[in-house]
Amino acid sequence: MLSAAEISNAIRKSLGDGRSLAIVSLMESGARQRLLVEEGSGPVAGTLGEQILDEIALRQAVKLIADDRQEIAVFGIGEIIDAAQKDSDLSSRSDLRLLFEISRPPLKLIICGGGHVGQAVAKAARLLDFNVTVIDDRTEFASRDKFPDPKIDLIAEDFIAGLKSFKITPASHLVIVTRGHRHDEICLRQVIDQPARYIGMIGSRRRTTTIRQRLLKEGIQPDLLHRVHSPIGLDIGAQTPEEIAFAIMAEIVLVRRGGTGLPKSSEGPMTKAR
């Protein structure tokens, strides 16, 4: 049986590593067993007392962590048992219920580039409760004059050094919007193999294709390049920095929540665009 201190330490470690942690409990009178499941790692401590229960709990915990929408959920065994397990003793314990409590790390957004688009993205991200860090090698652009919100962290140094100083985790989202394609590519090279939830880079389709092809020739794995959202953002016809920022943040929300990006309305002028 896990102690409260062990559970607390596990939560602290997982969140510190930027990973979600699910605490799974049996909802039975007197039951005190817990199973801890970490994002990307699987079971890290504890047990529910039976291997088959642990297997069912693990499978459902992984789904809930990936879903990124729920923090507390309760399931009856009959709801989540799979076909291969229906012949087990659990099939007669339909009243058995599991409680899933998901602890998630704070959302982090790293913006490379403190220009007009970077400033607009930072504002939009704060509205969505992201912890925002801006990196720019120009002191005047990584300044409180450009980013007056004191909750936005500023790093005024070389992009490579700035990114190396930052711990990138599965809770991290990276937006590359520097002043030029050379700096964009420098930033992309630095983060492309990092475990960020989202990596997006600004630029025209032609320019971003050129960068992708160059990186492929240099040996960067295709699956790493496929993770990169570039050109960045959803196609909403954005023109101004503020509109571009909302297109970028809408894409990040889509990645987190699993949406389609399509209009919800089944009628009206936007249906013609589908």
Q: Are 138 and 14 contained in the same domain?
A: no
Which of 169, 172, 186, 190 is CA-nearest to residue 133? Answer: 172
Tell me the C-alpha distance between 33 and 81, whole Å: 19
Which region, left, alpha or beta, applies to residue 111 given φ > 0 means left and ψ of -120 to 50 means alpha? beta
Q: Are 137 and 55 contained in the same domain?
A: no
Tell me the C-alpha distance between 11 and 6, whole Å: 9
Which of 73, 71, 81 is CA-nearest to residue 21? Answer: 71
Domain assignment of residue 188, yes or no: yes
Q: Are 61 and 174 contained in the same domain?
A: no
Model confidence at 31: pLDDT above 80: no
Q: What is the pLDDT of residues 213-241, one digit of tens each?
A: 999 999 999 999 999 999 999 999 999 99
Q: For residue 97, name the pLDDT band (cuts at 50, 70, 90).
A: confident
Q: Are 124 and 223 contained in the same domain?
A: yes
Q: Are 147 and 60 contained in the same domain?
A: no
Q: What is the pLDDT of residues 58-89, one digit of tens each?
A: 999 999 998 877 788 898 877 776 655 555 56
Tell me which DSSP letter residue 139 carries: T
- For the record, the structure tokens of 9 come out as 């330490």
pLDDT at 96: 83
pLDDT at 89: 61
Q: Are 159 and 45 contained in the same domain?
A: no
pLDDT at 85: 54
Model confidence at 271: pLDDT above 80: no
Domain assignment of residue 270, yes or no: no
Q: For residue 272, name the pLDDT band (cuts at 50, 70, 90).
A: low
Domain assignment of residue 180, yes or no: yes
Q: Are 19 and 91 contained in the same domain?
A: yes
Bridge partners for 100 per DSSP: 24, 73
Domain assignment of residue 99, yes or no: yes
Q: What is the mean pLDDT of residues 93-122?
A: 92
Beta strands 34-38; 108-112: pairing state: unpaired
Q: What is the mean pLDDT of residues 115-121?
A: 98
Number of domains the chain contains: 2
Per cent of the chain over pLDDT 90 is 69
Domain hosting residue 31, numbered range: 7-103
Q: Are 64 and 163 contained in the same domain?
A: no
Tell me the C-alpha distance between 19 and 104, whole Å: 7
Residue 115 to residues 22, 92, 152, 230, Cα–Cα distance (Å): 39, 62, 15, 18
Q: Are 115 and 202 contained in the same domain?
A: yes
Model confidence at 164: pLDDT above 80: yes
Instruction: Reduce the DSSP state of residue 25 to 3 states and report it.
Output: strand
Decide: 144 and 272 in contact? Cβ < 8 Å: no
Domain assignment of residue 2, yes or no: no
Q: What is the mean pLDDT of residues 129-144?
A: 97
Q: Are 151 and 242 contained in the same domain?
A: yes
- For the record, the structure tokens of 6 come out as 């062990």
Tell me the C-alpha distance between 24 and 145, whole Å: 47
Q: Are 131 and 219 contained in the same domain?
A: yes
